[in-house]
Amino acid sequence: MNPRRRSFIRKAVYLVVIFALLFPIYWLGAPSTVDTETMKGSRGGLLAQKREKNGLEQVYYGKIDPTSETLRLATLGMRGIAVDVLWLKNIEYQKKKDWTNVSATLNQIIKLQPNFIDVWRHQGWNLSYNCSAEFDDYRERYHWVIKGIDFLKLGTTYNQREPRLLRDIASFISRKIGRSDEHKQFRRLFREDDDFNGALPKSERDNWLVGKTWFRKAEDLIDTQKASTRGMNPIVFRSEAGMCQMNHGAAIEKEGVFGERARRAWQQAAKDWEEFGQYAIPTSTGLIVRLGQLDRLVGERQERFDEINKLGQGIHQKLQEERLSQLTDAQRKAMNTPPRERTSEQFALAQEAAALLDIEPQEIVRNRRFPREHLEKAKKLLEHIAQVEELARTTKSYRGIVNYEYWQNRAEIEQMDEMRAGRELVFRGGEALAEGDLSAALDAFARGSAHWFSVLQRYPTLMTDSSTGDDLEELLEEYGKALDQRDELFPPDFALAPYIRAQVQDNPKMYQIGASMKKADEAEKADDPGTACSFYFKALESWRQIIEDLPSLEQRSDPFTTATVLATIRKYAESLRKNDQTVPNDFILHRFVRVQMEHDPETREAQRAMERAEDAVAKQDLAAARKAYEEGFARWRDILERYPTLVGDGTLGPELMILVDGYRDVLKQENQELPKDFPLQEIVDRYGQP
Amino acid sequence: MVLETELLPFREWLLWGPFVWLLVMGSLAVAGLFFGSLVAVIRHGPAAGLAATGRVLAAAVGDLFCMSPRRVWALAWLAVKDSLRRRVVVVFIVFLLLLLFAGWFLDPSSDHPLRLYISFVLTATSYLVLLLMLFLSALSLPNDLKNKTLHTVVTKPVRPSEIVLGRMLGFVVLGTTLLALMSAISYVFVVRGLAHSHEVVQASLAAVDPRQDADQGAVPLRGESTRVNGHRHDVRIDRKGQGLLEMTQDHYHRVARRQDGEKTVYEVGQPEGMLVARVPVYGKLRFMDSQRHVAERGTNVGDEWAYRSYIQGGSLAAGVWSFEGVTPTAFSDNLQLEMTLGVFRTYKGDIEQGVAGVLLLRNPKTGLTVEAKVFKSREFSTDVHRLPRKITPTAAYALQPEKDPDGRIKYVRKPLGADAKAQYDLFDDLTDDGQLEVWLQCLDPEQYFGVAQPDLYLRARDASFALNFVKGYFGIWMQMVLVIGFGVMFSTFLTGPVAMLATVGMLIGGFFRGYMIELALGQTWGGGPVESLIRILTQDNVVSDLPEGIRTTVAQTVDSVLQRGLWVVAQLLPSFGDYDCASYVAYGFNVPGNWIAERGLTALGFAVALFVVGYFFLKTREVAR
């Protein structure tokens, strides 16, 4: 064979082999042509299918950016090192507050690694939360929050099947803007931000509503395109859109929007929450729960239980009678005491009694009196009850994760006219207070409080809710400020007094107060004033902490509690006296007592008498002056008996001594001295000149 | 602009710069002479060896001091032609391509677009030119030797020194031409890239005073512009129809209203205020503590970056800048004071408002102090205050230094009494022989201002931006000269690839010189190379001390020797990073004359040394004899 022919044959063989290799290459490497919108087209070769199966396919990530590809190729396979270097530079720039280069290096990093989701998430957070916090001007901070959000939005164009990025965008728009310290300013800037919101009408530019639409986008991506929910807790994730609507309602009310718009917002929130309640959530035990179906499950259990009772022919009633007869007197008494009035011991006893009286269906079926002929059917019913109970238990525990019941009630309550009126009055009261219109403020606060109380009466669970607590704390603080400016206390018929009392009763310190008072009483009975004194003091220390938690108590927001504290103080002072001790100058409740004293009518009378005395002195009418002084001091004596710790009040003592000196001057002019039975001798002994 | 190391005045630098150079050159010469003689003595015996050394030195004097400029230029031109034959123009095309696609990399919506554009063009240019010169300079001589083309040169009456210098000069000429072309194109790219205009959104215009009707025309208006390049401006127009698109992204535009028939048209100009080269007058910063005692530093608020020191608000603490040369000729009728402050709040306070501060001007001789301006802080942006020549202060008093019983200097406030005036002249009353002190105090209690020396300066005038841009390229030019010097020097005694690697090593070492010195001085965590190796193998962290014992002692002893060697190497390397003045240009500051002079002389010093060393190495080659 001549060389030319050999060469020709070799080339022909090469061509054939190349052609033959095309088939396996096509079989392995044909690209996918599936349209991400319509999901139509070829699924491609084996590798394309594997990539799709494992969520690795590049085309699904999003756009293929020529710049990004160029940069990646230009690093000659050392992309990781390049990114590391850039990342370190980024940290250094951030440390040195070189924000231009922080942005520039980020831009380069994402061009090199556009599909590394954690880079997007981490740096999006870094921009919106860390970089923004470095700025003093809130407008700059907002600018950087938006920069982080825009960064994440860019990430979604490269990674179209990544719900985590959508969720982060939603979370930043809603929470970062709506919950920051600067949320008022941020929300305002967000409304005015034409660049971010584009054509969205200003009325819809609420960060919570915009956040909600992004949460919905993330949900849609998972529901329609089966995107991975990696790293997301399904129950929390699915609740977020609904929560955004709730927060929108709450936010606009804080900004003074009530009326129909607020009602519609809460109506939508209730609807969203209802929908969320119907969503099937997979659990770690394999059960599928729907949070809104707890009532149905409880009802279903009760129906099956009733059926068992029916089959049991009165066993349930007999068992209950037997158990009732087994209760001790103390348990009976505890059960008959209304829950709010129970002591801690009674609370435990009542719980024991309730557990004893709670008869399970199994007990009925296992009872020897249960008719044999219905046993098979009853066992099936028991099995069904067990399944329903497990589902109900899981549902309940999952409801707890998102506080389902509270938000369900809240969405209902906030739609009530009563509630909205209450909120509006409190808001208007705040406005009037800021403008200095005290009468309007006090009137609005008083009426707002009444509306609030009527809502609390209808929904007593709100009494223990922290969010309601925050709202009412704000109301009490504002109301208290207005009263303070008028030098007044809360009115005796203050509508929210029962709420305050409930707060006091629920305070864990109350158990300590109860225990301390019991021990103090025992010591009193044992004629041991020293021990009594120390226990009274312990009780008062607990009271001081309660007053710190509920500062409105100082302004007598609940007269009952105030009276209780004053009674304890009197007992403490009495025990001190019996123990030959004086009230210390740094007595922990001096301020509280002083406020009560200052607003006591007797104090006003005493002050008037003293004013009369000073007038008479000015007119040189010594007899009238003396009479007025004596009347005044007698009243002060009464006051000191009512508030015995005032003797140790370092502010009041010297003030009284000035009056005493005036009286002395009058007596001196009549060549007399202070009488031996002078009502304020205690003050003179303590604060008078030696 | 952040300047972490202070630039010495040229006169001060002259006191030690040339001295250090002479010392190093002298040491190198002595070392070279010693080793050269040693080799000669070993090869030829003591007498012949020393005689040979003497002959080499005598020839060197002739070679180094009697070069013919004509021959040097002929050799330089040969190097240029040789390089052009090697298609160096390709680099230029790559540069053009880079600029064409630069829009992909540069974010026009950046808060400071000039910084991005400048750092891009300067970085791209320096990478390309340095790489090109690295290849050319390191491969040229070895290739000529390999191809024996050098033999045709050495047969002519040329000195080895002329060959070395001719090569260096040729490459420098070529590189300079390339850089000149690149800088011209880059300048056009930057100016055109940043050029843009907006339109005034007429629907957004409203009267500044809400009681006035905007439609009536002759009232001051405010509104906004359209969004271009990722930003929009607030618009302010006066009653005459003239106005500004206010400062955003470091620039503003002028706007003028005109009537076009029935239609009102707003004509917006090109961006201004961005392509600037401020000439700052920096002062010397010192601090006062909360009792107005002189303190070395302000308060440390725990910032990881210790560049700025903080002034406590609501106290007597202050940052004091002492300026010189504040004269009417330098500053005409007002003083433009610019500052960039850091703000640190210990409580939120009123977030709608900046933290309040006050600027005091003090005559350092008389102690006369006036409260010139109360302001609200603007963090991370240049805050401009124009102080008029005639100042009517909110308060005036004297601040006089006194010694405390414990010997500390405290500035005590004293009333002016009869010397008090309603108005003070900036130059007559507050400066003394051009000296002026600017005191900065934070007024809000428990809030802090963070300052560093370059954060507050007086803006005397502006230099030409184009010239400043050229200065930026001059920085790259100096780096290029050094690379050529190293490349040619190594190529006189190494083969091409090895010479190239050695030059790359020098280049990398030069860029990391600071880090090398830190390593050599033991200022980094983890110890020297042997200690670090032990830590890596034992997975020990870098902070804890190694257990005492023979192993640690040996490792640290070896390290101390290696570290000394590293220190010597680091001292011989030029600090390439120091020649980079891109940040000056990018931040809109004039590259100072002393920077140019100090860096230029340093580069020249290196170039001369490299030339001499290159000559001696070439002299050792057979071909050059």
What is the tens place of the pLDDT at every residue in B166-203? Answer: 999 999 999 999 999 999 999 999 998 889 999 999 88
pLDDT in tens, A131-178: 999 999 999 999 999 999 999 999 998 888 889 999 999 999 999 999
Q: Which of B298, B336, B289 is nearest to B316 (CA)?
A: B289
Question: Given this model, what pLDDT does residue A60 score?
Answer: 52
> What tokens does A357 get?
């009286």
ipTM of the complex: 0.82
Q: What does the mean pLDDT of chain A come to?
A: 89
Helix (H) / strand (E) element for B496: namely helix B496-511
Residue among B105, B111, B305 minimizing CB distance to A100: B111
In the sheet with B342-345, reading across from the earlier edge strand, the strands are B309-312, B447-451, B342-345
Scanning A62-91 for CB atoms below 8 A from B yields 66-67, 70
Residues 6+ apart with CB under 8 A from B45: none
Please, are residues A281 and A235 in contact by the beta-carbon 8 Å criterion? yes
pLDDT given at position A66: 64
From chain B, the residues in CB contact with A103 under 8 A are: 107, 110-111
For the ranges A55-69, A116-130, A296-310, A586-600, the lowest mean pLDDT is seen at A55-69
pLDDT along chain B (625 residues), means of 10: 85 88 87 88 88 87 86 90 80 77 72 86 88 89 80 79 92 94 92 90 84 70 89 90 89 90 89 91 94 93 92 96 91 88 91 92 94 89 88 92 91 88 91 94 95 93 93 95 95 91 91 88 88 92 89 94 90 88 91 93 93 89 59
Q: What is the pLDDT of residue A630?
A: 92
Which residues of B are less than 8 Å from A85 in CB distance? Answer: none
Say if residue B148 is exposed, middle or buried (CB neighbours under 10 Å; 0-12, 13-18, 19+). exposed
Per-residue confidence at A59, pLDDT binned at 50, 70, 90? very low
Q: Which residues of B484-493 are buried (b: 16+ CB within 10 A; e: fewer)?
A: bbbbbbbbbb
Q: How many residues are listed for chain A in this entry?
A: 690
* Count of other CB atoms within 10 angstroms of residue A545: 16
Q: Tell me the C-alpha distance between B368 and B420, whole Å.
A: 9
> Which pLDDT belongs to residue B177?
93
CB contact set of B352 (below 8 Å; sequence gap of 6+): A138, A185
Q: Does A279 reach chain B within 8 Å, measured CB to CB? A: no
Contact criterion met (CB below 8 Å) for B79 and B166:
yes
CB B460 within 8 A of CB B589: no
Model pLDDT, residue B294 = 93
Indicate the residue type of A158: Y
Per-residue pLDDT, B217: 62
Mutate to test the interface with A, among B246, B380, B444 (most CBs of A within 10 A): B380
> Which pLDDT value is given to residue A459?
85
With an 8 Å Cβ cutoff, is B621 touching chain A? no
Lowest mean pLDDT, pick from A173-177, A229-233, A400-404: A229-233
Output DSSP code: residue B527.
Answer: -
pLDDT above 50 for A362? yes
Does residue A327 or residue A174 have the better pLDDT?
A: A174
Closest CA in chain A for residue B249 = A100
Name the residue of chain A whose CA is nearest to B226's CA: A195
Q: Which residue does chain B place closest to A67, by CA atoms?
A: B104
Comparing CB atoms, the residue among B2, B104, B379 nearest residue A136 is B379
Residues 6 or more apart whose Cβ sits within 8 Å of residue A430: A441, A478
B112 contact residues in A (CB cutoff 8 A): 100
Q: Does residue A443 surpass a pLDDT of 70?
A: yes
Nearest to A597 by CA among A676, A681, A655: A655
Tens of pLDDT along A468-522? 888 899 999 999 999 999 999 999 999 999 999 988 988 889 989 989 999 999 9
Please check whether residue B110 touches A, CB under 8 A.
yes
**How much is the average pLDDT of A77-84?**
87
Chain A residues whose CB is inside 8 A of the B355 CB are 136
The C-alpha atoms of residue B310 and residue B447 are separated, in whole angstroms, by: 10
Chosen from A97, A108, A112, A185 to mutate, greatest number of chain B CBs within 10 A: A97
Count of Cβ atoms closer than 10 Å to residue A309 Cβ: 16
pLDDT at position A427 is: 94
How far is B80 from A670, CA to CA, in rounded Å? 123
Beta carbons of B110 and A100 less than 8 Å apart = yes
User: Across the interface, which of B104, B232, B343 has its CB nearest the CB of A136?
Assistant: B343
Nearest residue to A412 via CA among A273, A309, A278: A273
Residue A150, chain B, CB below 8 Å: the answer is no
Domain ranges, ordered by start, for chain B: 10-195+464-505+579-624, 202-268, 308-451
Yes or no, beta carbons of B351 and A181 under 8 Å apart: yes
Alpha-carbon span A239 to A526, nearest angstrom:
60
Does A104 contact B110 at a Cβ distance shorter than 8 Å? yes
Residue written as tokens 């956040």? Answer: A211
Q: How many CB atoms lie within 10 A of CB B66?
A: 10
- Look up residue B473 and give its two tokens: 């390229």
Structure tokens at B357: 């501060």
Residues 6+ apart with CB under 8 A from B53: B33, B36, B37, B40
Tokens coding B592:
């100072």
Q: Which pLDDT value is given to residue B551?
A: 92
pLDDT score of A40 more than 70:
no
Q: Which of A347-351, A442-446, B393-397 has the lowest average pLDDT?
A: A347-351
Give the whole-angstrom CA distance, residue A674 versus residue A668. 9
